[in-house]
Structure 1
Amino acid sequence: MIRTHGARAAAGALAALLVLAGCSSKAKESGGDGDRADADGVKTGIGVSGKTITLGALTDMTGVYATLGKSVTQAQQLYVKQLNAAGGVCGYKVALSVRDHGYDPQKAVSGYTELEPKVLGFTQFIGSPFVAAVKQRIDGQDKGLVLPQAWSAALLGSPYIRVIGSTYDIETMNAVDFLIKEKGVKKGDRIGHVYFEGDYGESALVGSKHIAQQAGLTVVEQKIKPTDNDMTAQVTALKQAGVKAIVISAGPRQAASLVGVAAASGFAVPVIGNNSAFAPQLLATQAGPALMKNYYVASPSLPIGADTPQAKKLVADYRAAYPKDALDNGIVAGWTAVSAFGEALKKACASKDLTREGVDKALLSIDSYDIGFGVAQDFTDPKSPSSHESVILQPDKNVTGGMKVVREAGASEAAKSYTPGA
């Protein structure tokens, strides 16, 4: 249970949501957005107007995940542009309506409340606590498909919120498994875990504790806030505790500080982060050399610089569309989510049902979806993430996107046997 500032912020956001939810419902009732059929017999509803399907994106362009948010959003805008150039879906063009919440709970919930009555569903929603704050409303009232850039296990169980890739608890098990098999961590050792308060960090902590219990390890916890950018105190505490490795479930800034401070103090233990704890721009900072030496990242897919035809095409297309912007794995995450949503739209079109119910049903029929980044996604079970696998990456300024593969996609034995929430 979350008892910190993050929980109070989410609770405040949820209270605001409850006030605004009634207004949204009234707007839908008076707006005449009931299901209808077009001239071709395709059933449509909320989010489909004229010859346009509107999808929502709730992102972070100005907060702790601004780098991720920009890449995810631009990748999704690129996909929509290409989809429309190819004829759209069922004769409809697709539009992406974007709102920046700056990783602020009030802005996130109000952005959802604003967009929800206008969109068919969401190709993006950054922030596990914010998605969790509106989960009850999504499940009970709105029933629009949401593909979040969030991997908290708390989001599982909803037929409308579909986590793409392994949840943070499973991903962290795969990360610790790498430390055990590749970095010399052994039974009896202590490992540190620096984590954000709230759904993200505490979901990851469940994973590290689960595999630590199985492997005979002890987890030394260090809880931090998203506003904490200097990890000196955490490094000092973990060094004194004698940890042999560190897991970090936070943002890129915190990861860079942690690895940089550890290196500067002669504390040369391996550090591994969750998928959102790195940005290639960090390689140009003072922490760059230390990151390339001692830092690893567990990722739900191969990196943007993967040696596959699909990855190479995405790199070329993204560079052509955004020549001044860096390549990072946010592009892969955004492209994967919007492609999955696009695939659901196409299947719903074939079934002549472009309502929220029809699109959600279409996604739940997809059992093996791989866009060329090494991991097949299975969306058929809402109680489970679409994958239990992780790829282990290492920062490298000499490769496309700044990340190289050091262990291919796979699931640890702990992850394979684990049931989220059990």
Structure 2
Amino acid sequence: MNRTSLRAAAAVTVSLVLALTGCSTKAGSSPKAAASGGLKTGPGVTDTTITVGVLTDLTGPAAPLGKPALQSEQLYIDQVNAVGGVCGRKVKLLVRDHGFDVQKAVAAYAEIQPKIAALGQLLGSAQTAALLDSIERDQMLTLVGGNSASNLGHRHVQVLNTTYDIDMVNGVDFLVKQAGLKHGDKVGLVFQSGEFGENAAAGARFAANKAGIELVEQTVKPTDTDMTAPVTALGAAKVKAVLFAGTPGQTASLVGVAAATGLKVPVLASGASYVPQLLATPAKAALEKLLYVTVGQPALSSDLPGVMKLVADYQRKYPKEQLNVGVQVGALDGAVLVEAIRAACAKKDLSREGITNGLRSLKAFDKGLGSVQDFTDPSKAPSRRSYIERPAKGVPGGLKNVRKATEVPAVAEYLATRG
């Protein structure tokens, strides 16, 4: 189903849910803002609380990321509430588990939409695509967990850090130097069908063309688990490196099969393709030797003060939980949300539009969690600097930084072509 059809289907579902619950779309999404002591308010805001929604996966395939992201955001919000909250109010998270099912996400959004001031976390590219029109209509500031460039250009939707294509442009520059690639060399490009993989592939193609590298492309389905076929094709083509954007399970299969069949070349993967649990698989040795990860946030083993504090706080609160990138996503969601509300409060406008305006006023957001981010233009990624990391057992998050946050010159050229 294409993007237009998906949005249309989602709109129909929302309409049906609203009809069955006896709610009017217009009444639910655009309530009249109230003035309280000169402060303009809207849905989800009372004299004592600001209620924020979270639509995530706690029971489905993305739960290994969804659960720590929720826990980390709740931890951040709890810390803020402990010192007085925001604008004289405590922030409350209203959580719904969509199990990574698009229709469940659409139904959950329809249920909580009248009760919330913003969406502090929305996990899933397909879920975001299905809800995009409703989010814009409802003027609902939404922090999304999918970093596809297709989520840019919408006033009330915000990705954090880089997009997948920017990470690939920065990453290919590193890989060319690391692997000593030369003009005319062949490099594999294996990517998952869908917005995530296709966005990463777009950046990879541009960077490869600029470097004079010939790509050998292989597309995989999100449900594919065995990467033997694409690895065999790349081996036959005698590629000297591989670019990859898929699920973490596919990463383990691809790197493990490549090493076992003699294709011992470096593999550069998008950040969404790795979780530290992979180091408990038979592919551990191959991952540590061959894999690099290109991603917009620093490794959790970083010595950045903000990251070190996050790791210490999370481990104190959840000592039995394994750290992964979801911890950073949740903390960053919480920090961005709080700063947007604070900026809105300063303008005496806690309506939904006021909270979005608050976000759009943040030009140099920095909480010590990575690169400085600019949220003023919804058509642009807030950061264009990517880290390069490598798997490492025994460190927080199972990754270590090998190149600091960098924006290579090719990024500006690529973005000019993307428009």
Q: Residue 348 of structure 1: SS of its match in structure 2?
A: helix
- Matched residues in 1 for 2:222 and 2:60: separation? 10
Structure 1 residue 400: Cα displacement: 2.2
In the alignment, what sits opposite 2:60? Answer: 63
Matching residue's letter, 1:29: A
In the alignment, what sits opposite 2:118? Answer: 121
In the alignment, what sits opposite 1:403? Answer: 399
Structure 1 residue 108: Cα displacement: 2.3
- Matched residues in 1 for 2:140 and 2:190: separation? 34
Structure 1 residue 26: Cα displacement: 0.4
CA contact (8 A) 2:41 2:349 kept: yes
Q: Deviations over 1:50-89 (max 9, x none)?
A: 5221111111223332211112111101011111111111
Q: Residue 418 of structure 1: SS of its match in structure 2?
A: helix
C-alpha distance 376-109 of structure 1, shift in aligned 2 (>3 A): same
5 Å matches for 1:175-214? 175-214=171-210
In the alignment, what sits opposite 1:77? Answer: 74
In the alignment, what sits opposite 2:266? Answer: 270
In the alignment, what sits opposite 2:44? Answer: 47
CA contact (8 A) 2:28 2:114 kept: no
Matching residue's letter, 1:344: A
Matching residue's letter, 1:126: L
Structure 1 residue 211: Cα displacement: 1.2
CA contact (8 A) 1:28 1:117 kept: no
C-alpha distance 365-401 of structure 1, shift in aligned 2 (>3 A): same
1:97 to 94, 97, 109: 94
Structure 1 residue 25: Cα displacement: 6.3
C-alpha distance 215-55 of structure 1, shift in aligned 2 (>3 A): same
Q: Residue 147 of structure 1: SS of its match in structure 2?
A: strand
Matched, 1:157 2:140: no
Identity of aligned residues (%): 45
Unmatched segments (≥5 aa) in structure 2? none
- Matched residues in 2 for 1:14 and 1:35: separation? 25
CA contact (8 A) 1:37 1:43 kept: yes
- Matched residues in 2 for 1:24 and 1:301: separation? 43
Structure 1 residue 382: Cα displacement: 1.1
Structure 1 residue 419: Cα displacement: 2.1
**Matched positions, count:** 417
- Matched residues in 2 for 1:156 and 1:391: separation? 21
- Matched residues in 2 for 1:278 and 1:12: separation? 32
- Matched residues in 1 for 2:229 and 2:7: separation? 27
Structure 1 residue 138: Cα displacement: 2.1
CA contact (8 A) 2:29 2:138 kept: no
CA contact (8 A) 1:131 1:148 kept: yes
**Bigger Cα displacement from structure 2, 106-115 vs 295-304:** 106-115
CA contact (8 A) 1:9 1:105 kept: no
- Matched residues in 2 for 1:185 and 1:398: separation? 31
- Matched residues in 2 for 1:166 and 1:29: separation? 36
Matched, 1:35 2:33: yes
Matched, 1:226 2:241: no
Instruction: Provide the TM-score with structure 1 as the length reference.
Output: 0.93
1:106 to 93, 103, 108: 103
Q: Residue 69 of structure 1: SS of its match in structure 2?
A: helix
Structure 1 residue 298: Cα displacement: 1.0
Unmatched segments (≥5 aa) in structure 1? none
Matching residue's letter, 1:106: Q
Structure 1 residue 18: Cα displacement: 5.1
CA contact (8 A) 1:194 1:247 kept: yes
In the alignment, what sits opposite 1:317? Answer: 313
Structure 1 residue 7: Cα displacement: 8.8
Instruction: Provide the TM-score with structure 2 as the length reference.
Output: 0.93
- Matched residues in 2 for 1:272 and 1:353: separation? 45
Q: Deviations over 1:153-198 (max 9, x none)?
A: 1111111111111111111111211111222222212222222211
5 Å matches for 1:350-369? 350-369=346-365
CA contact (8 A) 1:64 1:251 kept: no
Q: Deviations over 1:230-261 (max 9, x none)?
A: 21112112212222111221121111111111
- Matched residues in 2 for 1:359 and 1:24: separation? 28
- Matched residues in 2 for 1:31 and 1:368: separation? 31
Q: Residue 197 of structure 2: SS of its match in structure 1?
A: helix
2:367 to 344, 367, 371: 371
Structure 1 residue 134: Cα displacement: 2.0
5 Å matches for 1:231-270? 231-270=227-266
CA contact (8 A) 2:125 2:195 kept: yes
Q: Residue 409 of structure 1: SS of its match in structure 2?
A: strand
**Bigger Cα displacement from structure 2, 383-392 vs 14-23:** 14-23
- Matched residues in 2 for 1:32 and 1:381: separation? 24
Structure 1 residue 102: Cα displacement: 2.2
Q: Residue 402 of structure 2: SS of its match in structure 1?
A: strand
Structure 1 residue 31: Cα displacement: 9.5
Matched, 1:147 2:150: no
